[in-house]
Amino acid sequence: MTTYTLPDGVRSATVETSRLRVHYLETGPADGVPVVFLHGNLVSSLFWDETLAALPDRYRGLAVDMRGFGDSESLAIDATRGVRDFADDAYAFIEAMELATPVHLVGWSTGGGAIMQYAIDHSDHVASLSLVDPVSPHGFVGTKDVEGTPCYPDFAGGGAGGMAPEMIERLQAGDTSADSDLSPRNVMRNFFVSPNHTFDPVREDAFVAEILKSKTGDGNFPGDVAPSSNWPTFAPGSQGVNNALAAGHCDLTSLVDIEPKPPILWIRGADDQVVSDTSMFDIGYLGQLGAIPGWPGDDVYPPQPMVQQIAATLQTYVHNGGTSSEVVIADSGHSPHLDQAAEFQEAFFGFLAANS
């Protein structure tokens, strides 16, 4: 059996920060321009391997495993703070590594939300923000329009309760098979990347192994579930990553008011099924499709217009004096750095060069 090895020049290390023990991957010279990468839900720093390996020599790339993922310490996530636990962890990492600020921040999906929160709290420490298929600034699931109006006052339908129990069970069982649409391997194949993308088998096995490191439970993935009298009878709980992302807890809209305003790159896959106006993980869209009984209709609970919400927030950011550019990559899913690596790197490295 062939074992996956890190690309040439990519190193693995661990550091103790003021908040937790962090595992990270690193490339480039110690005195290089720092670029810090945060990953998405259920994955790890390893998913940045190709990007790190291709990073131009003038940069020092550091991709961290966020709490509860990969080989970093597993600590409970206080979802009532939105994604601020992840942002504060990143701040502690940058401090522990004694990185010169401002730093370039790159965030994919959940990590995109975390770097927006970082910029809200520490805008003077940020050289640029690269948002890769990020969570909406209005959170994930439970809002009905571009302004982020709640479908219900308790944001019913968002958070940990929307995660399929079989997927959690297979994750806890260490399932490496492709026996079910809800096996970690098939979730990655079907939702992380374009249907036309085929992983190298050895690299795919390594990615599945990383997904299976994700810590489960109320404090981690997906989190606890709160009951609701509203459809579909659950609301976001107070712990765990999926609740931290939920509308009602996750509100990143104050990004538009930060000063100074670092330049922003929004780069996304054209065929993303996760962060989408028709997301396959959105209770409203699944209800519209008839997959969840009792859907109260478009007037009450339409699909969340996630892409429109991101676009509107960034338009306001520009109106308020910032700069933002959007790159949409064709034949790409939720992870353009994986399924269209060359095109992603061209856009991302060009943005870095223009702002370094």
SS3 104: strand
Distance CA 32, CA 128 (A): 16
Domains of the chain, earliest start first: 11-354 (3.40.50.1820)
Cα 147 from Cα 150, distance rounded (Å): 9
Using an 8 Å Cβ cutoff, are 37 and 51 in contact? yes
pLDDT score of 203: 97
pLDDT at residue number 2: 79
pLDDT at 1: 60
Report which DSSP code applies to 192.
Answer: I
Instruction: Name residues of the chain where pLDDT drops below 50.
Output: none
Please report, for residues 34, 77, 130, 214, 354, the alpha-carbon distance to residue 255 in angstroms, rounded to integers and kept in the order given: 22, 22, 14, 29, 22
Query: What integer pLDDT is reported at residue 153 of this predicted model?
Result: 98
CA distance 162 to 160: 5
The answer to whether the Cα torsion of 231, 305, 312, 160 is positive or negative is positive
